């Protein structure tokens, strides 16, 4: 590795300190992910970061989004936009995410659980493909972020993948190999303490998805569900939660998909017969 690509002593020390702080948050996996995103934004000099829990990241089935934790964005409207894309499964249009999935799928199965991966965006997808992608052309003017550094790790068979992605302002200098190596170092240290049982392991996905399974819901999905079950319309729910009508509809569609229903009436019936199904 070229000397200029190695993490500085201060960067490495900060990474080790962060991993120690994460150990102190054992019992609060959501708090751990929030600390990861906010701290790594500072360490990497990123404007925005997101931690994603994804199922089937390297499997043959369709990749499924489970949960997202955001940090670094000052604009709440941008977070709402990203959440809407995730819950509407629009992240499948993201050429960077698909490229990460292809890299992971090409690795030997045993290696996926032993060694995390970190990549700069141009190591995942070339410029001509990235800037020609419809989702990129649609979102870059809105998000005003461009340069990516991404990393991911699947801690064990059946566990969801923790995928981290960080971005810089489109007008800022791109991430360099050193930032990639800093993220690689962090993920490797995280994998070591996780294997030692010093972190909360991600919940293993259930083997079967029967009718009585309680699906995982994000905090926003639970809030929308609560309003719907309370008798509010989609419009009234959007106003109560201070989000757009379209975003609320996206959450409603996600609820229908997770509970395997096709209408609000069916959703209500599910909870009359099995109220424990709420996530």
Per-residue pLDDT of the chain (279 residues; tens, 9 = 90+): 666 788 999 999 999 999 999 988 877 888 888 899 999 999 999 988 999 998 888 866 677 878 888 888 655 666 666 667 666 666 667 888 889 999 998 998 888 888 999 999 999 999 999 999 887 887 777 777 888 999 999 988 778 899 999 999 888 999 999 999 999 999 999 999 888 777 766 555 544 444 445 666 777 888 888 888 888 899 999 999 988 888 888 888 888 877 778 787 777 777 755 544 555
CA distances (Å), origin 146, targets 53, 152, 173: 22, 19, 10
pLDDT at 112: 86
Q: Could you tell me the sign of the dihedral formed by the alpha carbons of 121, 126, 131, 135, in that order?
A: negative
**Alpha carbon of 96 to those of 125, 168, 262: distances in Å?**
6, 15, 31
Quick count: other Cβ atoms within 10 Å of Cβ 61? 7
> pTM of the entire structure?
0.71
| Cα–Cα distances in angstroms (integers) from residue 117 to residues 100, 105, 271, in the given order | 9, 12, 41
Q: Residue 121's pLDDT is what?
A: 95
Place of tokens 């995280």: 190
């Amino acid at each position: 590795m070229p000397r200029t690509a190695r993490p500085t002593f201060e960067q490495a020390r900060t990474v080790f300190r962060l991993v120690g702080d994460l150990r102190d948050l054992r019992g609060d996996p959501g708090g751990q992910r929030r600390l990861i995103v906010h701290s790594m934004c500072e360490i990497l000099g990123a404007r925005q970061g997101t931690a994603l829990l994804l199922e089937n990241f390297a499997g043959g089935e369709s990749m499924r989004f489970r949960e997202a934790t955001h940090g670094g964005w000052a604009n709440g409207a941008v977070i709402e936009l990203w959440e809407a894309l995730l819950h509407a499964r629009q992240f499948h249009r993201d050429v960077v995410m698909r490229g990460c999935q292809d890299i992971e799928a090409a690795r030997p199965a045993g290696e996926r659980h032993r060694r995390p991966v970190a990549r700069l965006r141009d190591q995942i997808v070339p410029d001509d493909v990235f800037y020609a992608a419809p989702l990129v052309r649609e979102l870059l003017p809105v998000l005003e972020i461009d340069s990516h550094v991404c990393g991911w790790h699947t801690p064990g068979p059946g566990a969801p993948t923790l995928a981290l992605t960080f971005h810089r302002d489109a007008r800022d200098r791109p991430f360099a190999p050193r930032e990639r190596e800093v993220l690689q170092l962090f993920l490797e240290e995280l994998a070591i303490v996780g294997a030692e049982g010093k972190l909360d392991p991600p919940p293993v996905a259930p083997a079967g998805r029967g009718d009585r399974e309680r699906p995982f819901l994000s905090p926003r999905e639970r809030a929308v569900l609560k309003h719907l079950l309370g008798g509010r319309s989609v419009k009234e729910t959007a106003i109560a939660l201070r989000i757009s009508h379209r975003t609320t509809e996206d959450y409603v569609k996600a609820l229908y998909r997770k509970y395997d229903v096709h209408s609000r009436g069916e959703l209500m019936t599910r909870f009359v017969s099995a109220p424990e199904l709420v996530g």
